[in-house]
Amino acid sequence: MEEYPPLASLSLTHVHYNPADRISYICAWLALVPQGLCIVYATLIWSNREIEICLMFAGQLGCEAVNWILKRYIKEERPREMHGKGYGMPSSHAQFVAFFSLTLTFFLLFRHVPHPTETHTPFTFFQRLLLSLVTLAFAAAVASSRIYLNYHTPKQVLVGCAAGAVFAVVWFGFTTVLRRAGWVDWMLDTRLARTGRVRDLVVQEDLVDSGWARWEERRVRRRLEEKKRR
């Protein structure tokens, strides 16, 4: 009888939770947020080609690299109740969402200055602040879920949040220097960036309104042509 090699589980989306506990079930879905955000990153980069999103994603990858190094340097085990593999200090989920939420908050409050147009009024500063608070609260929920599911101790989650927050501050400062020194403009003028249609509009242009004026102009022109044909 032919023997097959033992199978392994791909732990990327393999989450342990208590099926009798609804909160545990919700926490299991929250554990998939980092993977979902990576899909959002890839989708936005492909569809919008915005340099700001590319820079944020580059920082997110850098933050993950720092987490990988810290885990293998500290070598602290996960809680005893956890059946998974790998080190637990610091929590990669907590570090991921802390960086994402804080970087998005810094962008919305300090870098994003959208101008109103004839067709759209962008979010006010208060609305952007409210959105930032919602993002931070959502990040806190993801981080807390790691404790509830016994994947990490509270200390591991707190250190992960701190590491993500520190890296977010450092990365935002770094990208600010790149912008003020003209390096971002230089990157956008390179042949590679122009071939990839990379642009820098989201700082002053609301994503909701992006391309809307051109679409409205095209739609009105098409309607007028249809009336003339009648």
The DSSP code sequence of 86-140 is: S--SS-HHHHHHHHHHHHHHHIIIII--PPP-SS--PPPHHHHHHHHHHHHHHHH
Tell the residue number behind the tokens 């987490």, with chain if given.
Answer: 67
Tell me the range of 78-82, 146-150, 168-172, 186-190 where mean pLDDT is highest: 168-172
Flag whether 66 is in a domain.
yes
> How is residue 1 annotated by DSSP?
-
Between 118-132, 146-160, 161-175, the lowest mean confidence (pLDDT) is in 118-132
Q: What is the pLDDT of residue 13?
A: 67
Residue 176's pLDDT is 94
The residue with greater pLDDT, 115 or 30, is 30
How confident is the model at residue 60, as a pLDDT? 94
Band (218; pLDDT cuts 50, 70, 90): confident
Report the number of distinct structural domains present in the chain: 1
Determine the structural domain holding residue 128 and report its residue range.
Answer: 22-229
Percent residues over pLDDT 90 in the chain? 35
Whole-angstrom distance, CA of residue 126 vs CA of residue 123: 8
Q: Is residue 15 part of a domain?
A: no
Does residue 39 sit within a domain? yes
Segment 23-43 mean pLDDT? 89
- Residue 10: inside a domain: no
Is residue 123 in a domain?
yes
Per the prediction, the chain carries an average pLDDT of 84
HSE of 165 in the Cβ direction (CA atoms, 13 Å)?
Answer: 10
Instruction: Please give the pLDDT value at position 23.
Output: 85
pLDDT of 85-138, one tens digit each? 677 789 888 999 999 999 999 999 998 887 776 666 777 888 889 999 999 999
pLDDT, position 130 = 93
Structure confidence at residue 213 (pLDDT): 66
Residue 225 has what pLDDT?
80
pLDDT at 125: 82
pTM for the whole thing? Answer: 0.82
Q: Is residue 152 part of a domain?
A: yes
Which residue has 């909160």 as its token pair? 23
Average pLDDT over residues 157-166: 94
pLDDT at position 227: 77
